[in-house]
Structure 1
Amino acid sequence: MDLHIALRVFREAAEQDSFAEAGRRIGLSPAAVSKNIAELEAHLGTRLFHRTTRSKTLTEEGRIYLEHVARSLDALADADEALGLARADPGGVLRVSAPVTVTMTWLSTRIPDFLARHPGLHLDLRLDDRRVDLVREGYDLAIRGSDHLEDTSLVARRLAEMPHVLCAAPAYLRSRGAPASPAALKTHECVRFSLSGHADTWTFRKDGRIERVTVQSRYSVSSSLAVCDALRAGFGLSLVPRPYVERDLRESRLQAVLEDWSTVTTTLYAVYPSRRHLAPKIRAFLEFLAETFEATKI
């Protein structure tokens, strides 16, 4: 027995006072209507209709049951309508976690336009460089930069790739000299971004050779914005995503070193718990992110 169909059949038969009319409205034969009513009564263990050769009327139990069934079916119809509206126009509260520097570099100036496109949507954007637990902390989506994603239970959509560059202020390089090789970094001040997946070891490649440098740092900080501030102030060298310092390099506030060596690339992902029945608000934000990073041409 399909309980939902049986409930619809019961309601129509009761309200139309006719099994035949109920069948016409739902698209079932009189025999199928009778079968659904009989199976529903067997399921409930009570008689819902008094049956004679000329009429079928509700029992007292049938009248009580009809009140509850009618309310339940109406509530389901309202839920279906509400979901349909949600699919057509994203709405509600969207909770997103994103790294500070990623947001300030690419997203913050574009978010007003995104919200203007979706007037029914409320965005709660939390800027946090730590890796949040989406499910436990109640986020719909997070933006993450990673060399590799550890949590395979999440759906990940790639947004962009950020190559890294080793750089420092010209004043620092004049006073300490530019490192001639990765190994020479052991004699330099290095600024360490503590939340990076490669915070402790910087890897460089050249002509099939790989050199890994264990980072010795007097300054470790959990904000890439603070790392960039330290570099501009001439404190030392750091390995940072190139888009974060592209303007500084172009305007000579910072200078790249060891450019004949390649190094790590961080991939930006949008991660969310499930791709099944993806909420319209999440789908809309994913489209916004894809448009934004495609336009930046990182």
Structure 2
Amino acid sequence: MDKLSVMNAFCRIVERGSFARAADDLGVSPALLSREVKLLEESLGASLLSRSTRSMALTESGRVFYDEALRIVSAVGQVEDRIRKGAGEVGGHLKINAPSSFGQTAIAPLLPGFLRAHPKLRLTLSLDDRVVDMIEGGFDLSIRIRPTMPDSTLIARKIGIVRQRIFASPDYAARNGTPERPEALASHPIIGFLLADHLTQWSLIGPGGVIDMTLDPAVRVGNSLVLRDLLVAGEGIGTLPDFISRAEEAKGTLVRVLPDYELPAPSIFAVTGSRVGLEARASAFIDHLRDGLQRGHS
């Protein structure tokens, strides 16, 4: 059991007054937090929380543990803050894994500024659309885009969301027209992303709620940038994440199809192996990426 991790989680549970709210803050499930607290109580031989279906309160032992845990977690946080704030002092070797298209379009433009801010840092960026075992691969940080993160020993921090909309080129629209309602998509050539959850099953969120449909993409590709290029070339209709579509919309090479509808927005998670504190280099990169993503959406 990672005691510092559990201390951090326990403090968050007490402060938020709820396993569910604390779990949402930490990017894990309430069930996982409940198991961790139960293991903690078993290791201490004492009950820390008095729980019922409607309320939760600290026991006497829980109050003692909370006060000491808060002091320790705060001290660790202060040390980390001092390290992070030392501009140019972040060093060592940072190994990052990220999806290919996200790495090329969202991360790559932010790297020069990050590297200039931290000249003592060595960086390895590996781009792979497969979900890799970051511990086995020796990665300090993995960027993952998905609806939710499963329970694991990893800690996932949500740093943004991805809007997914439907696009075609102006040339395609001029030659073939575009559907005026979701059901009409089936009469158009669809270009699909092989690794997407919505390759053939689309759930479109629109003014009237959610419309579920089954589509059979005529062309299926394993890279979002190839999909983008096919759409720009006028080969059909498909969905793109906003970190790819934004530039094409601005240039006018792609236009939205069914602009009142979009697919569910997955989250961008920064995943690390520690549940307590981050190495300064990983924390610095997460902050830099989060800020860059926010600027991109502003």
TM range (shorter): 0.5 to 0.7
Change in 2 beyond 3 A, CA 1:281/1:219: same
Overall identity of the aligned pairs, in %: 31
Q: Which residue of 2 aligns with 1:185?
A: 185
CA distance in 2, matches of 1:136, 1:215: 37
1:86 positional shift: 8.0
Secondary structure of 1:95 counterpart: strand
Asked if 1 retains the 8 angstrom alpha-carbon contact of 2:160 and 2:268, the reply is yes
Structure 1 stretches of at least 4 aligned residues deviating more than 6 Å after TM superposition: 85-88
CA distance in 1, matches of 2:255, 2:277: 48
Secondary structure of 2:212 counterpart: strand
Change in 2 beyond 3 A, CA 1:126/1:288: same
Secondary structure of 2:136 counterpart: helix
- Quote the RMSD (CA, aligned, Å): 2.3
Secondary structure of 1:110 counterpart: helix
Asked if 2 retains the 8 angstrom alpha-carbon contact of 1:241 and 1:266, the reply is no
1:244 aligns to 2:244 (yes or no): yes
1:177 positional shift: 2.1
Query: What does 1:154-233 correspond to in 2, within 5 Å?
Result: 154-233=154-233
- Larger deviation: 185-194 or 258-267? 258-267
Q: Which residue of 2 aligns with 1:136?
A: 136
Q: Which residue of 1 aligns with 2:257?
A: 257
CA distance in 1, matches of 2:168, 2:204: 17
CA distance in 1, matches of 2:116, 2:252: 37
CA offsets 1:162-211 (integer angstroms, 9 cap, x no match):
21111101222233221122222222111111112222311113344422
TM norm structure 2:
0.66
User: What is the number of residues matched between the two proteins?
Assistant: 215
1:117 positional shift: 2.0
CA offsets 1:249-286 (integer angstroms, 9 cap, x no match):
23321121111224321221111121324222212212
- Larger deviation: 131-140 or 255-264? 255-264
Q: Which residue of 1 aligns with 2:45?
A: none
CA offsets 1:59-118 (integer angstroms, 9 cap, x no match):
xxxxxxxxxxxxxxxxxxxxxxxx9x9886332211101122222323213212212222
Unmatched 5+ residue regions in structure 1? Answer: 1-82
1:151 positional shift: 4.5
Unmatched 5+ residue regions in structure 2? Answer: 1-79
Greater RCO (CA < 8 Å, at least 6 residues apart): 2
Q: Which amino acid aligns with 1:233?
A: A
CA distance in 2, matches of 1:112, 1:251: 24
Asked if 2 retains the 8 angstrom alpha-carbon contact of 1:193 and 1:220, the reply is yes
CA offsets 1:19-64 (integer angstroms, 9 cap, x no match):
xxxxxxxxxxxxxxxxxxxxxxxxxxxxxxxxxxxxxxxxxxxxxx
CA distance in 2, matches of 1:182, 1:91: 51
Secondary structure of 1:144 counterpart: strand
Change in 2 beyond 3 A, CA 1:177/1:283: same
Q: Which residue of 2 aligns with 1:49?
A: none
Q: Which residue of 2 aligns with 1:109?
A: 109
CA distance in 1, matches of 2:177, 2:208: 26
CA distance in 2, matches of 1:148, 1:172: 35
Secondary structure of 2:104 counterpart: helix
CA distance in 2, matches of 1:265, 1:277: 28
